[in-house]
Structure 1
Amino acid sequence: MAEVTPWGSGGPLRPLKPEPDGHFSVRGGVAGIAFQLEELDAGVRGLDGLAEDVTTVEIAAHRIWAELGQYQNDPPSSGVEALDATGEGWRAVAKVREELQDIGSQVQACLQEYEGAEQRTLSNLRLGTDSHKLWLPQFLDMLLGGFPNPYSPDLSRLLNRDSTEALTGNYPVLVALLGARPERVTEAIQMATATGMQGSGIPIVVRALAEGLAPHLKPRDVKAIGGPSTDVALDASPAGLLSRARSVDEDGRGTIEILRTGSGDHEAFVVIIPGTQPGDAGGPNPFDEAGIVEALGYGSEHTSAAIRSALQEAGAEAGAQVVAVGYSQGGIHAMNLSQDKAFLAEYDLKYVLTAGSPVGGIHPEPGISSLHLEHRQDWVPGSEGAINPDTRDRVTLTLENRVLTPSGEAPGLGPGHRLTNYEAGARAVSASSDPSLIASTGALAGVVGTGGAATATRFQLVRTPKPQESGRPGMPVRPVEQPDIRPPGGR
């Protein structure tokens, strides 16, 4: 641990970057900068309150001293000594008040400097002024390290979370993409002005795409069809929940899983949501490429409604505690639940766990904790162009270890995006001594415990047919095949 110049020694005070914990770094939570700034702000308010209390004492002491002033010319035995003592007490109280106010002013100035530095850093990233610093090292690394093996491509040295985030968070680039839709350009400029170019403009681009060039991507209603329930032994750690997510994701048929844990007054429900699954974009599987459009551009309105319906069928009563877990696209849907008023009006969402998901532009309601796993080589979490906020209840863990696509396997979206790598990172979360991670995993355990017996029910989510697939006049409508629901873990 680096040394800090003690206060009062005459040396300048400087913030320290937290030491890396193994092969990952942690941002946010109780050890995050934002929470520390909140604590400084609370300290300033506390000092101000003390100063006000001392001022009240000071005023009372001065009043007593003034009332005793008429006795100052009398013999000492008449009370002059009391007058002197009261005057000294009043002056001592005034000195304490001045010191408290001075300390409060210094802390306030420190807080403003830190907040200003944070805002400048975020503004630089949003404006893209640091993009060359992100792209150039990656390009040189690629030249020096050679081009990737064409049979096992790995472009993560060039396209990673930071470079993608710098590009997609660049409002001039987004405005250029929206050049054919003047009204969308105006919307993007208004958002940029309102947020100081610190938000995500990707939802605007996504909606423009769905409402213009690719109407087949526009969201439609989603239905949840339940399957059989099975008793399972649940590992409720972050790694255990991501293992369930891998099983659901590999199912590949638009299924989600709902786990019912505990009993009686301590029941909780865990919703597992898969990542993007290949298929006909805009077809029956709501987790295809069109699902990304609904998640990023439309707040997962239809998928959230289907999840709420599945919870009801799984036995979750109004007010039940819920944990949402999602990988890649599924993480966006999971986080969208945290700001879905209809969902939150019925269920008490306590915790969200995401892996490899772009969720920086989603702002949960107060009191909802979240843990986000990202990998430096994974470009997907940066595709929204917004940094995950640094708050007390929101923790982002960034994996820093170098990963490669295993020989003989398809590269997919890159080795950094592999769910197995995120599972390994989640195991490191449970073993970490980082205060933010300890608090976050403690919040999760407070809802679902450490695991044990649970009931798992899988639901197949089905998007309603496209209008042109509903049949033409004079022609029979093709019947919809009944979905194939298999038991949890089935392949």
Structure 2
Amino acid sequence: MAEVTPSGAGGPIRLTGPTAAGGLEIRGGIGGITFQLEELVGGAEKLDGLAEELASVETDVQRIQGNLGPYQLSQAHSWTEAMSTLTRSWAGIQAVRAELQAISSQVRASKRDYEAAEAVTSLLANMGIPSFRDFDHVRLDDPLWPDLHGTDLALRNAVKARHEVLGIAEALFPALEPRRIAVDRQETMPIDFDGTPAALLERARIVDERGPGYIEVIETDSGGQKAYVVVIPGTQAGDDIGGANPFDVAGIGEAVGHQSAEVNIAVRAALQDAGAEQGAPVVAVGYSQGGIHAMNLAADPQFRSEYEMKYVLTAGSPVGGIDPVAGVTSLHLEHRQDAVPGADGTPNPDARNRVTVTLLDQVTTPEGEDVGLGPGHRLANYQKAAGLIGASDDPTLTDSTAVLAGVVGLGGTATATRFALTRTPAATASAPGPLQQPAQGPPVQKSETDRQVTTGKMQG
């Protein structure tokens, strides 16, 4: 395709792959190959229209030449000059038309070739056959922690059976089955909120510190337009797996195997209690497990029937296989040393409305801190990356963050409401829908609660 540019156009048409700047690899969005090809195909359609117009001009020239026939003898000299000029014009128009049609054909062929190559790559990946890129990312210097792409490679076949595995696990351990979630409003407070990816991840950190089982709903007001941000924490591991906290290890099973069905219901109840009216725009942010829940909200038909999901931010979350509807913009943060985003065995798609930013820096676990799921999975790393994204002038990133700012505004005072979510005991979990007023909420940890301005309980 690069060699079939219009004559005198100034250079060949070139596609660009993922860009790397400031330690960030950026894939998808307006800089992604998929969007570039879509734009080129749109240009090819316009070229086809121009070619049709030129074909019509060719016909007109031929018609004019035919009309000049009677003057061949009476005005031989003028007739010869006119016919010569028309012939040259016709040949030039024909050449331009043919060139435009050839370029259009080559662009479409390139798109077909790209889609075919992607299909073959996907087929090989599903068969467990690695690509050169997989080997390029396998890290041999730190065998303890597999990297992002190494995890994708290892789990591509295993994830196919995830539903069967979860079904067996839930049959053996009923406590792992999703259960109704009680929703209890705890406190409401004014906060400073600037509407950036860094601000969203900071709220995820604060909510996690509030205690196990908490989410937060932030109401923003930009020029009289209210929007709501749902903040969901990552996995909060504990000894009581499948207990009261819906974000424990068992919560991963609900997110992956049940599309966050009960969490989605609880989030809708929390939004309603926070004052979100039907059709209100919503932004969801989640770290690790929370990112899966956030993306599942964007893909949930029931949630979409009540609210308009506009933007999702995930950090360290395996969400490649979750497909939100058109109109939802998503920004996914991953770290090359973080195995968790690759746990679903499915890379995030290269799409106009999905941007994936991979951190490329080498990190280690700070001395004295828990290793957890490895140094790359630490929320602090993703917070740092979010700050870099907010300050970046990369067109793909500025386009994505502009969408976020367009929903929640450019900053100011917002209202945050905290909710304690509690799984009901298995014996009382037969009826669908959210519960209210749990008998005992998650334990409270010291955090921003000393700055709260109002408290209240959800009324049944």
Q: So what's the TM-score if we normalise by structure 2?
A: 0.85
Looking at structure 1, the residues matched to 448 and 165 of structure 2 have their Cα atoms a distance apart, in angstroms, of: 34
Q: Distance in 1 between matches of 2:328 and 2:390?
A: 20
Specify the SS of the correspondent of 1:283: coil
Which of 461, 477, 480 aligns to 2:421? It is 461
Task: Provide the rounded CA distance (Å) in 1 between the counterparts of 2:219 and 2:125.
Answer: 42
State the Cα distance separating 1:391 from its structure 2 match.
Answer: 0.9
**Deviation digits for residues 76-113 of structure 1 (CA, Å, limit 9, x no counterpart):** 49977656655544443322211211222232333334
- Residue 103 of structure 2 corresponds to 103
2:439: which partner in 1? 480
The residue aligned with 1:228 is 187
Q: Deviations over 1:202-256 (max 9, x none)?
A: 6534543455444432222223221221111113211111011011122332110
Q: Residue 415 of structure 2 aligns to a residue in which SS?
A: strand
Distance in 1, matches of 2:241 and 2:60, equals: 76
Instruction: Please tell me whether the aligned partners of residues 256 and 458 of structure 1 are also in contact (alpha carbons under 8 angstroms).
Output: yes
Query: CA 1:122/1:308 → structure 2, altered by over 3 Å: closer, same or farther?
Result: same
Gaps spanning 5+ residues in structure 2: where? 431-437, 451-460
How big is the shift at 1:481? 2.6
Q: How does 1:174-185 map to 2 (within 5 A)?
A: 174=158
Instruction: List alignment gaps of at least 5 residues for structure 1.
Output: 144-154, 175-199, 471-478
Whole-angstrom CA distance in 2 between matches of 1:123 and 1:447: 38
Give the secondary structure class of the aligned counterpart of 2:341. Answer: helix
CA RMSD of aligned residues (A): 3.1
Question: What is the deviation of 1:129?
Answer: 1.9
**CA separation of 1:432/1:490 partners in 2, compared to 1, >3 Å: closer, same or farther?**
same
Separation in 2, partners of 1:245, 1:40: 39
- Provide closer, same or farther for how the CA distance between residues 118 and 263 of structure 1 changes in structure 2, counting only shifts above 3 A: closer
Distance 1:222 1:482, change over 3 A: closer
**2:334 is aligned with 1:374:** yes
Is 1:24 the counterpart of 2:24 in the alignment?
A: yes
1:317 aligned onto 2:277: yes
| 1:265 partner letter | G
Structure 1 equivalent of residue 454 of structure 2 = none
**Corresponding pairs, count:** 438
- Name the stretch that deviates more: 48-57 or 110-119: 110-119
Mean alpha-carbon deviation: is it higher for 88-97 or for 244-253?
88-97
Q: How does 1:392-403 map to 2 (within 5 A)?
A: 392-403=352-363
Residue 285 (str. 1) matches residue 245 (str. 2): yes
Match of 2:201 in 1: 242
Answer whether contact 2:247 2:289 (CA < 8 A) is retained. Answer: yes
**1:362 is paired with a residue of what secondary structure?**
coil
TM-score relative to the length of structure 1? 0.80
SS in 2 for 1:267: strand
- What amino acid is the match of 1:219? P
**2: CA distance, partners of 1:355 / 1:137:** 20
Range with bigger deviation, 280-289 or 367-376: 280-289
* Alignment partner, residue 350 of structure 2: 390
With over 3 angstroms needed to count, the CA separation of the structure-2 counterparts of 1:469 and 1:20, relative to structure 1, is closer
CA distance in 1, matches of 2:12, 2:300: 46
Counterpart check, 1:208 vs 2:167: yes
**Alignment-derived partner of residue 50 in structure 1:** 50
Distance, in Å, in 2 between the alignment partners of 1:56 and 1:96 is 13
Q: Return the letter of the residue paired with 1:412.
A: G
Q: Quick check: 1:327 aligned with 2:327?
A: no
Residues 56-455 of structure 1: matches in 2 within 5 Å? 56-76=56-76, 85-130=85-130, 134=134, 140-142=140-142, 155-156=144-145, 159-170=146-157, 174=158, 201=160, 203-205=162-164, 207-210=166-169, 212-262=171-221, 265-279=224-238, 280-455=240-415
Q: Percent identity?
A: 50
Assess, with a 3 A threshold, how the Cα gap between structure 1 residues 483 and 17 changes in structure 2: closer, same or farther: closer
Q: Report how far residue 368 of structure 1 moved.
A: 1.0
Structure 1 residues 57 and 469, CA gap change in structure 2 (3 angstroms): closer
User: Aligned partners of 2:104 and 2:35: how far apart in 1?
Assistant: 18
Task: Give the residue type in structure 2 aligned to 1:373.
Answer: L
Cα deviation digits, residues 126-167 of structure 1 (max 9, x gap): 433227985798574248xxxxxxxxxxx22xx221111111
Q: Quote the residue 1:180 is aligned against.
A: none
